[in-house]
Structure 1
Amino acid sequence: MAETSDGTLMVDVSYGGGCETHSFALCWPDQSFMESAPVQVSLELLHTGPRDDCDAWITETLDLDLSPMADAWRESYGAESGEMIVYLGGFSTRYSF
């Protein structure tokens, strides 16, 4: 699942482990907009956690900051507010800012 609220992309993730602290990074590889109405961005989620040999299956919701995409949109299109479609891992959601 992926949805937006107040400039945050909320994403459910699951991973194996349980003994180490896992971290994730939101990546915008090409730093570009796909032109449409509204524009679209394709994002990736990188799991940057350490090797974790524990057997638990962890599920959590991540809150990821979308302000870099909104700032880039404002700079590119010269308007204060707008919207875009955000794609991440097979999901899409509309982001208004």
Structure 2
Amino acid sequence: MKDLGPLLLVMLFACAVACGNDEDSPVSTTPDQGPFDSGPRTGNVVFSPGDVRSTTQWGTDDYELNAAAIRGDTLAVSVSYSGGCRAHRFTLVAAEVFKESDPVQLDVAIAHDADGDPCEAYPTEDYQFILDPIKARYKASYGSGAGTIVLGLDRAPDVPLVYEFD
């Protein structure tokens, strides 16, 4: 029993040191902070030969479109979805052909790939889609001048999304 005294003191000292506050590697406990909180994420723009709502190859997971607006050559959206444990991907799927009208129209939809995220949080995030591929397709079809396209965004409220460019 006499020999156990120093051993117990060494063990208590080791526990105290191991449980101390390590200033070199602090842990954040703020639940709203994450590795993706640095501003809007950028999604890809792709063209689909079929119905833009048939987005199987780009993702079919559910989401809520909270807001959408055109800002210069960018479609900015706010989306909410179930998840929060894995990175989610949003893709703007555009029809291959324009609807002839004045101005022309283009059907677009947002595809969501949750990557099998099992979490049940409901984050809201901002995404942006650079519309340069749509502008290039317009100019290839109608000439290199200025243009106007009305984007028919699936799930968007009845607010017209008018994309104007030089």
Same fold (TM over 0.5): yes
Tell me whether 1:64 sits opposite 2:132 in the alignment: no
Post-superposition shift, 1:86? Answer: 0.6
Identity of aligned residues (%): 35
Post-superposition shift, 1:12? Answer: 1.4
Q: Hey, which bits of structure 1, 4+ residues long, moved more than 3 A?
A: none
Higher helix content, 1 or 2: 2
Structure 2 counterpart of 1:37, which letter?
Answer: D
Tell me whether 1:34 sits opposite 2:102 in the alignment: no
Alpha-carbon distance in 1 for matches of 2:83, 2:126: 16
CA-based RMSD of the aligned residues comes to 1.2
Tell me whether 1:93 sits opposite 2:93 in the alignment: no
SS in structure 2 of the partner of residue 57 of structure 1: coil
Equivalence map 1:79-90=2 (5 Å): 79-90=144-155
Post-superposition shift, 1:83? Answer: 0.8
Alpha-carbon distance in 2 for matches of 1:21, 1:77: 38
Identify unmatched segments of 5+ residues in structure 2: 1-66
Equivalence map 1:18-29=2 (5 Å): 18-28=84-94
Instruction: Compare CA radii of gyration and give the structure with the larger one.
Output: 2
TM-score in terms of structure 2 length: 0.55
SS in structure 1 of the partner of residue 122 of structure 2: strand
Structure 2 counterpart of 1:32, which letter?
Answer: V
Alpha-carbon distance in 2 for matches of 1:3, 1:87: 12
Larger relative contact order (CA 8 Å, sep ≥ 6): 1
User: Who is 1:52 aligned against?
Assistant: 117
User: Who is 2:69 aligned against?
Assistant: 3
Paired residues, what number? 96
Post-superposition shift, 1:6? Answer: 1.8
